[in-house]
Amino acid sequence: MRSLIWLLVVVVLAVAASLLAHNNGLVLLFLPPWRVEISLTFLIVLLLLAFALAYGLTRALGFALALPAKAYAYRQEHKQEEGRAAVEEAIRLLFAGRYGHALRAAESAWRAGQLAATAALIAARAAQRMRKAEDVTFWLERAKAADAEKTAVAVHMIGAETALETGDERAALTHLEEVRRRQGRHIAPLRLELRARQGTGDVAGVLRLLRQLEKRGGMSAEVAWEIRRKTHQQALTQRQSSAGELLAYFTALPKNEQTPPLALSAARKLHRTGEDDAAAEIVENAIADLRDADDALPGLVELYGQLAATPGRTLTARIAHAEAWLAACPRDARLLLALGRLCVRQQLWGKAKNYLEASLSVSASHDAHFALACLLDALEETDAANRHFRLAASVGEGASS
């Protein structure tokens, strides 16, 4: 359709040109004392040529006048292209781990004025990876100056990471609080906050963040379990001066978190404060919850034999517990040693001697020889006691060597 229209226009122009060419009209131009007579067709051609010449001169003049502006625009466009290329290069180098090169590329992009806020953030991240805290602060200030609103969250995230690396957990928490206010709770800031809470010893905060991260899929169950275990150990250490607080904390834990190592740690701390009955109950529950007696931690069994009874109470129930465990694993040297010690405290001399000798028959140890030597000395079996004292010393020397 468009071709047809142009064909009609060309035909019309051709007809008009033909009519003008055969026009016999004359034009008289009179400018005293000159007088010129020309044909109408020639005059029209001259006018068209004059118009074309004037139009060409006007365009040429306009182009000449606009040339400086165009040159400036070209230089600006070229500068912007260089800036964008520098930003892309900085991003690539940052992910490649070449932080020094990334910092220089980002600085070039900043000078080019292209994506200034992004370039400043890249430079801050590169400086943070190189542990240059002063450079991080410098580039974060530039990022805020370029676009304070859009870069606010990124600035506070980088600031929090830098604060954590320098050991300033309080400053990191301040940054992360601002992130939470602006965009809510997301996985990345939650992970940083977890590190900060661990550094400040905020047990409740760490456990709360672990629950949130597990719920959002931001941490594997294995890693969360290990952090939770260490956090509980830290909480017990914080409460070791108060037996009541320590016991309340441990008993308030879910059953699946009262692991044997944690139970052993809690029981040892209670034993140091003289709360042997509470420590014994923790050990008993911990061993009872194990799948079988062979899984019992040696430390739990050993500690159980060292626990004293509260005045007015006997060790009979503890001996019964230990003998029940012994039925499941009759050749556990540590358990036999623990039973021997318990029987000594309960003044069951015969049973104590049998258990200590049984422990030595399974595995000779310094503690078993020494306990039996003390028992024999109390029973006035001097020769046998001296022999076991010597054996205890020799086993101890062999172990130390």
Tens digit of each residue's pLDDT (9 = 90 or more) over 15-50: 666 666 665 677 677 777 877 777 777 777 787 788
The token duo for 42 is: 């020639």
How many other C-beta atoms lie within 10 A of the C-beta of residue 111?
14
Q: Does residue 285 sit in the same domain as residue 346?
A: no
Domain count, the chain: 2
Are 103 and 133 within 8 A, CB to CB? Answer: no
Which residues have CB under 8 Å from 36's CB, separation 6+? 28, 29, 30
pLDDT of 102: 92
Asked if residue 324 and residue 395 are part of one domain, the reply reads yes
Within this chain, do residues 386 and 363 fall inside the same structural domain, yes or no?
yes
70 part of a folded domain: no
Q: How high is the pLDDT of residue 13?
A: 67
Would residue 294 count as lying in a domain? Answer: yes
Instruction: Note whether residue 401 is domain-resident.
Output: yes
Contact 175, 189 (CB under 8 A): no
Contact 126, 106 (CB under 8 A): yes
Domain boundary residue among 308, 323, 343? Answer: 308
pLDDT tens-digit profile of 166-181?
889 999 999 999 999 9
pLDDT digits (tens, 9 = 90+) for 318-335: 888 888 888 777 788 888
Residue where a domain stops, chosen among 257, 290, 308: 308
Q: Under 8 Å CB-to-CB from 50, ≥6 apart: which residues?
A: none
Residues of the chain with pLDDT under 70: 9-24, 27, 74, 76, 78, 289-297, 310-314, 396-401
Residue 159 covered by a domain? no
- Nearest Cα to 389, choosing from 377, 399, 380, 400? 377
Nearest of 280, 273, 281 to residue 244 by alpha carbon: 273
Q: Distance (Å, rounded) from C-alpha 395 to C-alpha 369?
A: 9
Same domain? 338 vs 359 = yes
- Are both 351 and 380 inside the same structural domain? yes
Q: Are 158 and 142 in contact (CB under 8 A)?
A: no
Residues 299 and 319 in one domain: no
CA distances from 122 to 94, 99, 137, 155 (A): 8, 10, 13, 11
| 376: CATH | 1.25.40.10
Each residue's pLDDT tens digit, 351-396: 888 888 888 888 888 888 998 889 888 888 888 888 888 888 887 6
Q: Which residue bears the tokens 């400018």?
A: 31
> Are 387 and 339 found together in one domain?
yes
Nearest to 94 by CA among 114, 109, 79: 109
Instruction: Give the closest residue to 182 by CA, choosing from 148, 209, 216.
Output: 148
> Is 367 among the domain residues?
yes
Looking at the structure, tell me whether residues 246 and 294 fall in a common domain: yes
> Are 304 and 323 in a shared domain?
no
Whether residues 323 and 290 fall in one domain: no
The answer to whether 131 and 100 have CB atoms below 8 angstroms apart is no
Pair 322, 382 in one domain: yes
Other CB atoms within 10 Å distance of the CB of residue 201: 14
Contact (CB, 8 A) for 290 and 256: no
pLDDT of residue 398: 42
**H/E stretch holding 31:** strand 26-31
- Token digits for 307? 């626990």
Q: Which domain range does residue 287 map to?
A: 240-308
Is position 228 within any domain?
A: no
pLDDT at 43: 73
Same-domain pairing of 285 and 366: no
Write down which residue in 308, 332, 347 finishes a domain: 308
Q: Is the dihedral of CA 385, 389, 394, 396 positive or negative?
A: positive
Q: Which amino acid is at 154?
A: A
Q: What DSSP line would sit under 214-269, residue for residue?
A: HHHT-S-HHHHHHHHHHHHHHHHHHTTT-HHHHHHHHHHS-GGG--HHHHHHHHHH
